[in-house]
Amino acid sequence: MTIQKIIDIANDAYSDGLIAQHWDEKKQRPIGDRKAKDAGDGLARFIVQELFETYNSTASDEVQLDEAIRVMESASRQINDVITSLECQPQKFGDLSRADTTPKQKENSNVNEPNTQPPTPALVGVGSKELLDDDERESIASKNGYRVMRYGDGIATHAICRHGRIVPVTDDSHTCGWIYLVPSNRS
The domain limits of the chain are 3-87, 99-187
Q: Does pLDDT of 92 surpass 50? A: no
Q: CA–CA separation, 80 vs 64, rounded Å?
A: 24
Q: With CA atoms as reference, report the closest residue to 144 among 178, 179, 105, 170.
A: 105
- Mean pLDDT across 84-104: 49
- Mean pLDDT across 93-97: 45
Total residue length of the chain: 187
Contact predicate 161/178, CB 8 Å = yes
Q: Does pLDDT of 158 surpass 70? A: yes
Contact predicate 85/78, CB 8 Å = no
11 confidence band (pLDDT: 50, 70, 90): very high
Contact predicate 147/139, CB 8 Å = no
Q: Does pLDDT of 17 surpass 60? A: yes
State residue 102's pLDDT score. Answer: 37
